[in-house]
Amino acid sequence: MRHKNINHVVHEWIVPYLKENHLIVDATCGHGYDTKFLCDQKVNVIAFDIQIEAIEYSKNLLKEYANVTFIHDSHVHLERYIKHCDGIIFNCGYLPHSDKKVITKPESTLEAMAKAYSLLSDDGWMCVTFYQGHDGGAEEMKLGIDWMRKNMNIVHEYTYENVNNPPIAIFAQK
Ligand SMILES: C[S@@+](CC[C@H](N)C(=O)[O-])C[C@H]1O[C@@H](n2cnc3c(N)ncnc32)[C@H](O)[C@@H]1O
């Protein structure tokens, strides 16, 4: 059976929660596909990535858009750039077709999630897609999901059935 693509599922979850003037953070902009999806919904977007290659690629993809700001820094420093946000998306792992050693890491992902939570509006949301295929991915998934279950209200979960070590996406409200 063909699975519905996890990124498409996540985008469908997010749409009903977006309102004009919302500030949404893309914590892992990568090739900018999630960032572009958010920009197309007419919200204001702040997109982080630690790789300049990812930032340059995404800037080029979104050169016609005025509702996005790119930040070349780790999402663990997000409070240096924003004081409040309405939603945040993490798409963990590495940049496809790039250096597989530059990956999100369990401790920093968890720290960034906790910081983001404290900056979220009262009805804010967090959506995280975890992968197990990179070093530390299984630990990142376990820590991140446990943290979300403990601290947030889970609204949606999605994974691929009958696949070894599948990704898991979780959408939660504050
Ligand atoms: C799976 S990709 C993201 C895919 C992206 N959302 C898209 O739509 O193309 C993960 C990205 O996270 C970035 N990354 C890893 N650790 C990071 C960190 N601490 N802060 C910000 N970005 C990080 C990587 O450089 C990589 O580009």
Q: What is the CATH number of the domain that holds 155?
A: 3.40.50.150
pLDDT of residue 42: 96
Report the separation in Å between the CA atom of 150 and the middle of ligand 1, taken as the mean of its atom positions.
25
Residue pLDDT, tens place only, 19-55: 999 999 999 999 999 999 999 999 999 999 999 999 9
Q: What range does the domain containing 160 cover?
A: 6-14+23-173
Q: Is residue 60 part of a domain?
A: yes
Q: Which atom of ligand 1 is nearest to the CA of 105?
A: 16
Residue 1 belongs to a domain: no
- Whether 57 is in a domain gets the answer yes
Most ligand 1 atoms within 8 A of CB, residue of 92, 102, 104, 127 to mutate: 104
91-117 residue pLDDT tens: 999 988 887 788 899 999 999 999 999
Q: How would residue 1 be classed by pLDDT, with cut points 50, 70 and 90?
A: low
Q: Establish if 139 belongs to a structural domain.
A: yes
Q: Is residue 154 a contact partner of residue 169, using CB atoms and an 8 Å limit?
A: no
Q: Give 138-143's long-range contacts (Cβ < 8 A, gap of 24+).
A: 138/165, 139/106, 140/92, 140/104, 140/105, 140/106, 140/109, 140/110, 141/92, 141/168, 143/106, 143/109, 143/110
> What pTM, to 2 d.p., does this model score?
0.97
3-state secondary structure of 136: coil
Instruction: Answer for the pair 87, 32: CB distance below 8 angstroms, yes or no.
Output: no
Check pocket membership of 74 for ligand 1, CB cut-off 6 A: yes
pLDDT tens-digit series, residues 113-168: 999 999 999 999 999 999 998 889 999 999 999 999 999 999 999 999 988 999 99
* Tally of domains within the chain: 1
Establish if 132 belongs to a structural domain: yes
Q: Is the CB of 109 under 6 A from ligand 1?
A: no
